[in-house]
Amino acid sequence: MTDIVQPKPIPEEEFKQRISTIQSKLREEGLDALFMAGDEFNQANIRYVSDYNLVLEFAGVIIPAEAEPVLLVGPECEALAKRKSKIKKMEVCSDLIIPGEEYPNSVMIPLGEIFKDIKKKVKINKWGVVDIDVMPTFVLRTLYQTMGEDNIVDTSHILADMRAVKSPNEIALMRQAYLTASRGLEVGVKNAKPGKKEFEVAAEIAYSMRKEGAEQLSHVLMVASGVETIPALSRPSWKEIQDGEFVIIDLGAVYEGYYSDTARTFIAGKKRDRELVRIIDVACEAIDAALKFMRPGVKGCEVDKAGREVIDKYGYQKYMLYQIAHSVGLQHCEGPHCQPSDNGLVLQEGMVFALDLGLFNFPFGGMRMEEGVLITEDGHEILTKFPRRV
> What residue ranges do the domains of the chain occupy?
12-163, 165-382
At 389 the pLDDT is 93
**Which long-range contacts does 145-152 make (Cβ < 8 Å, 24+ apart)?**
145/112, 146/112, 146/115, 146/116, 146/119, 147/115, 147/119, 151/125, 151/126, 151/127, 152/127, 152/128
Q: Are 260 and 356 in contact (CB under 8 A)?
A: no
Sign, CA dihedral 37-43-47-49, equals negative
**Close Cβ partners of 282 (under 8 Å, ≥ 6 residues apart):** 310, 311, 314, 316, 359
Residue 338 has phi, psi (to 5 degrees) of -85, 80
The pLDDT tens digits of the residues spanning 195-216 come to 999 999 999 999 999 999 999 9
At 101, which amino acid appears?
E
Residue 66 has phi, psi (to 5 degrees) of -125, 25
**Spatial separation of the C-alpha atoms in residues 331 and 174, rounded to whole Å:** 11
Q: What is the largest CA-CA distance in the chain?
A: 72
**Spatial separation of the C-alpha atoms in residues 255 and 353, rounded to whole Å:** 17
User: Which regions of the chain does DSSP assign to beta strands (E)?
Assistant: 33-38, 59-64, 70-73, 90-92, 127-129, 152-154, 216-217, 222-225, 246-251, 253-255, 258-259, 262-267, 325-327, 334-338, 352-362, 365-375, 380-382
70-73 and 90-92 strand pairing: parallel
> Would you say domain 12-163 falls under CATH 3.40.350.10?
yes
Peptide bond preceding 336: is omega within 30 degrees of 0, i.e. cis? yes
Nearest Cα residue to 328 out of 275, 362, 373, 382: 373
127-129 and 152-154 strand pairing: parallel
**Spatial separation of the C-alpha atoms in residues 7 and 187, rounded to whole Å:** 22
pTM for the full model?
A: 0.95
Other Cβ atoms closer than 10 A to 343 = 11
**Which long-range contacts does 300-303 make (Cβ < 8 Å, 24+ apart)?**
300/325, 300/336, 300/337, 300/338, 300/339, 300/342, 300/345, 300/346, 300/347, 301/338, 301/339, 301/340, 301/341, 301/342, 301/343, 301/345, 303/338, 303/347, 303/355
At 99 the pLDDT is 85
pLDDT truncated to tens, each residue of the chain (390 aa)? 666 678 899 999 999 999 999 999 999 999 999 999 999 888 999 999 999 999 999 999 999 999 999 999 999 999 999 999 999 999 999 999 988 889 999 999 999 999 999 888 888 889 999 998 888 888 989 989 988 889 999 999 999 999 999 999 999 999 999 999 999 999 999 999 999 999 999 999 999 999 999 999 998 899 999 999 999 999 999 999 999 999 999 999 999 999 999 999 999 999 999 999 999 999 999 999 999 999 999 999 999 999 999 999 999 999 999 999 999 999 999 999 999 998 899 999 999 999 999 999 999 999 999 999 999 999 999 999 999 998
Which superfamily is assigned to 165-382 in CATH? Answer: Creatinase/methionine aminopeptidase superfamily (3.90.230.10)
Residue 224 has phi, psi (to 5 degrees) of -130, 145
At 284 the pLDDT is 97
At 303, which amino acid appears?
V
At 124, which amino acid appears?
I
**Spatial separation of the C-alpha atoms in residues 198 and 216, rounded to whole Å:** 20
